[in-house]
Amino acid sequence: MFSIEVKKLRKEFGNFTAVNGISFNVKKGEIFGFLGANGAGKTTAIKMMCGILQPTSGDALIGGFSIANEPNKVKLNIGYMSQHFSLYNDLSVGENIDFFGGVYGLSRRELAKRKEWVLEIANLKNEQKILTGSLPGGIKQRLALGTAVIHKPQIVFLDEPTSGVDPISRRLFWELIQNLSSEGITVLVTTHYLEEAEYCNNIILIDAGDIIASGSSKEMKEKYLKNDILEIECENVIAGLEILEKQKFVEETSIFGNNIHISVNKYLEDFDQIYSIMENNKVKSINKIVPTLEDVFIHLLEQRRNVK
């Protein structure tokens, strides 16, 4: 049973295609990651799945409701946290919670109960009089999530919920997402932070409106990276990169902090080959590494650019 079924979903703005007929399914209770660079089409796709933007063609079933034919039913049955949290800065914390409770038609008793819950997950117990605009980013983000799910939807869409907040707040926020998922709630979340994709059960990578990879993080590493990845620590990273890029045994290069990552093909016989070509640029170490998702994505995006 899928919570979300997306079928050839497409959105054109004039003659520009923002989402190019994408299809995928999300299981109940899954944390599903939507990854892609700026302008890839993530927000456009999410808005269509939430029933607030009409697709040019295609459809999606969200909890069984069609976004093309029953967008209002979709809206009532989901939670949506937009990219620029939808809280009112000039209202107090309590007023924001009351507002969202009202939008979703909660009874007074239900609202009182859910308000306590939202205040608790936002770490704002007994502080509902504070002006929302004065809250720190991490707290505001938790409050935004709480209000987005105040009506206990079974499916939640979070559009870059962790952008612009510190790493500790981000980690705490992911704990909240995992709690929702363990209660059987389906969470579709977009992020720029590739390390956050590791929290997701499944991921899709979109580029210019197309899905270019899908699967779990582990599957993606196995499926898309056939070559070994080496991490090279050398004295001068930029000079080292210039030398390596010219080698026949090097397929791709990227810089990771003070190190260089290269993906190598069959032309590399042993590491001595690398030590010798880098002679003037002292190599301190060469290690075969377990690829990160970033390695996978760089590989896929470079491949796509070369084809185009």
Ligand X SMILES: Nc1ncnc2c1ncn2[C@@H]1O[C@H](COP(=O)(O)OP(=O)(O)OP(=O)(O)O)[C@@H](O)[C@H]1O
Q: What is the spatial distance between Cα 106 and Cα 125, in angstroms, rounded to a whole number?
A: 20
C-alpha 189/C-alpha 274 separation (Å) is 41
Q: Would you mind telling me the total number of residues written for the chain in this entry?
A: 308
Q: Select the residue interacting with ligand X from 21, 41, 79, 291 (CB under 6 A).
A: 41
Rg (the chain; Cα; Å): 23
Only segment of 37-45, 201-209, 253-261, 293-301 that touches Mg ion (CB under 5 A) = 37-45
Residues 182-201 that bind ligand X (CB under 6 A): none
- Among 36, 101, 153, 161, which residue sits at the site for ligand X (rule: CB under 6 A)? 36
Residue 126's binding partner among Mg ion, ligand X, none (Cβ under 5 to 8 angstroms by kind) is: none
How crowded is residue 143: how many other Cβ atoms within 10 Å of its Cβ?
25
**Least spacing, CB of residue 18 vs ligand X, in Å:** 3
Say how many residues touch ligand X, by CB under 6 A. 12
> In the set 3, 43, 169, 227, which binds Mg ion (CB under 5 A)?
43
Q: Does 42 bind ligand X (CB under 6 A)?
A: yes
Burial class (CB in 10 A: 0-12, 13-18, 19+), 218: exposed
| Chain position carrying tokens 């409050």 | 143
Size of the site for Mg ion (CB under 5 A): 3
Q: Which of 4, 9, 18, 48 binds ligand X (CB under 6 A)?
A: 18
What are the backbone dihedrals phi and psi of residue 307, each rounded to the nearest 5 degrees, phi first?
-75, -40
Contact 173, 161 (CB under 8 A): yes
Residues 188, 193, 196: CA angle, nearest 5 degrees: 60
The listed partner (ligand X, Mg ion, none) that binds 291, CB under 5 to 8 Å by sort, is none
DSSP state of 292: P
Residue among 26, 40, 139, 250 that touches ligand X (CB under 6 A)? 40
Alpha-carbon distance 68 to 55, whole Å?
7
Stated as kind and residue range, the H or E segment containing 241 is helix 237-245
Asked if 10 touches ligand X (CB under 6 A), the answer is no
DSSP H helices in 22-164: 42-49, 71-77, 93-103, 108-121, 137-148
Does position 58 interact with ligand X (CB under 6 A)? The reply is no
Candidate list 8, 23, 27, 39; residue touching ligand X; CB under 6 A: 39
**Of 36-44, 50-58, 162-170, 298-306, which segment contacts Mg ion by CB under 5 A?**
36-44
Site string for Mg ion, 77-106 (x = CB under 5 A): ------x-----------------------
Binding of ligand X at residue 35 (CB under 6 A)?
no
Which 3 state secondary structure label does DSSP give 219? helix
**Subset of 74-113 contacting ligand X (CB under 6 A):** 83
Would you say 43 or 154 has its CB closer to ligand X?
43
CA distance 297 to 288: 18
Site residues (vs ligand X, CB under 6 A):
13, 16, 18, 36, 38-44, 83
Site residues (vs Mg ion, CB under 5 A):
42-43, 83
